[in-house]
A = this chain, B = another copy of it.
Amino acid sequence: MNFASDNWAGATPEVMAALARHNTGFATAYGGDNVTASVKRRFTEVFEREVEVFFTATGTASNALSMAAVAEPGGLILSSADAHLRNDEYGASEFFTHGMKVVPVPCRFGKMTLGELEATLARYPAGGRAGKPVVLSLTNATEAGTLYAVGEIAALVKFAHKNGMIAHMDGARFANAVAGLGASPADLTWKAGVDLMSFGGTKNGCWAAEAIIVFEPGRFPGLDVLKSRAGHTFSKARFVSAQYEAYLENGNWLKTAAHANAMARRLADGITAAGRLGWAPQANEVFPILPKTATARLRSAGAVFHPWPADEVQIGPDEEMVRLVTSWATSADEVDRFLGML
């Protein structure tokens, strides 16, 4: 009954099979190999257009190098107040951009509104000494397990572009968003104006498969060097490519994501009886508010999950808000046992 995080799971059998398939023989190092070339073509199919793909080691690296690719001295990154990039990456984006500031846009249940973005931007007039807005970073699925719909993304990005900003998407859980919304990867990204994204595979069944996708190839010419200079160019690149090969083929990535989302809904549905939800889950994270007696009982029975700050909801003194994350490895049985104990 492990709901701590989707990065506590291992790799899917498909990913392991692909690694085993490609572990013999010689292949050009640093990404010049055939598997990498083939996977890059697969990405163009997924996104229905030519894209550039840059592998990195972690989602933090994808986010921070994306920021570095668009950085300007004294520039500002706008993100939702609870963005991973802002709160959970040890200042990686500030470091890689040589000191750009991450300005929080107020958000509710993980999502900012256009009004909030406008109000935040209004505090940074052109030529001001506090900094120049350079990039908007949206996370989808959000850190709260909610989803931006296509129209919401398009509206926020349009406003960002109008104000001279680049639009970035943190897609550490992009598969869960695609599966949850039923929209195409293209609709959720470049067709809505997104310029570049962090495309995660690790949380959804790979070992370590992260990439930056640039939707207009060649637009950020320094990115390749930025990445290598940061020690993020694997010599045996095919070990990432192999993972992505298995991840993207046969729609595997959407199957595992759909499974994780379904497990989250199953949890949510079951919880409504014993407790209540902070907000409705849309992807693979559920945030229930439970009696402390229940969470204590679950923990002592071996269930693993994290407490969560309940800033946005009202909870009673005997209640606790927790986060439950599901993954490709979560089983219905496990969910039902958890609910049974509840």
> Interface on A for B, CB 8 Å cutoff?
2, 4-5, 7-11, 13, 15-16, 19-20, 22-29, 56-62, 64-65, 68, 72-75, 86-102, 129-132, 202-203, 207-208, 222, 225-226, 228-236, 238-239, 304, 329
List 16 A-B pairs, Cβ < 8 Å: A11-B19, A16-B20, A20-B20, A57-B231, A58-B231, A60-B231, A74-B225, A74-B228, A90-B129, A90-B131, A92-B229, A132-B225, A203-B235, A207-B239, A208-B239, A230-B231
**In the complex, what's the smallest C-beta–C-beta distance from A66 to chain B, in angstroms?**
11
A87 to chain B, nearest CB (A): 5
**Is there contact, CB below 8 Å, between B65 and A231?**
yes
B16–A228 touching, CB < 8 Å? no
A25 CB contacts on chain B under 8 angstroms: 10
Which of B10, B26, B88, B229 lies in contact with A4, CB distance below 8 A? B26
Q: How far is the CB of A304 from chain B (nearest CB, A)?
A: 7
Q: Does B26 contact A229, Cβ atoms closer than 8 Å?
A: no
Asked whether, in the complex, the Cβ of A236 is within 8 Å of the Cβ of B95, the reply is no
Q: Which residues of B contact A88 (CB under 8 A)?
A: 129-130
Chain B nearest CB from A45 CB (Å) reads: 26
Chain B, residue nearest A97 (CB):
B99
A246 to chain B, nearest CB (A): 12
The answer to whether A29 touches B58, judged by C-beta atoms less than 8 angstroms apart, is no
Q: How many copies does the complex hold?
A: 4
Known: A23-B10, A222-B73, A225-B90. A232 touches B231 (CB 8 A): yes
CA A4 – CA B75 in complex, angstroms? 27
A94 and B90 contacting across the interface, CB-CB below 8 Å = no
User: Known interface pairs A98-B98, A230-B92. Does A5 touch B29 (Cβ–Cβ under 8 Å)?
Assistant: yes
Report the bound CA distance from A89 to B5 in whole Å.
Answer: 34
Determine the distance from Cα of A60 to Cα of B232 in the docked complex, in whole angstroms: 8
Picked from B11, B26, B74, the residue with its CB within 8 Å of the CB of A90 is B74
Nearest B residue (CB) for A32: B8
Among B26, B100, B130, the residue within 8 A (CB) of A329 is B26
Closest to A57 in B: B57
- Alpha-carbon distance A4/B30, docked complex (angstroms): 12
User: Is the beta-carbon distance between B225 and A57 smaller than 8 angstroms?
Assistant: no
List chain B residues, Cβ under 8 A from A11: 19, 23, 236, 239
* CB of A61 to closest CB in B, whole Å: 3
On whether the beta carbons of B8 and A228 are closer than 8 Å, the reply is: no
The answer to whether B222 touches A72, judged by C-beta atoms less than 8 angstroms apart, is yes
Which of A10, A59, A87, A234 lies at the interface centre, i.e. has the most chain B CB atoms within 10 A of its CB? A10
CB-CB under 8 A from A15, the residues of chain B are 23
Once the chains are docked, how many angstroms separate the CA of A9 from the CA of B26? 5
Q: Which 6 A-B residue pairings sit nearest by Cβ, starting from the closest?
A: A61-B231, A94-B99, A57-B57, A7-B235, A95-B99, A2-B26
Complex CA gap A202/B237 in Å reads: 11
List the B side residues contacting A91 at CB < 8 Å. 73-75, 99-101, 131, 229
Check if B5 sits within 8 Å of A73, measured CB to CB: no
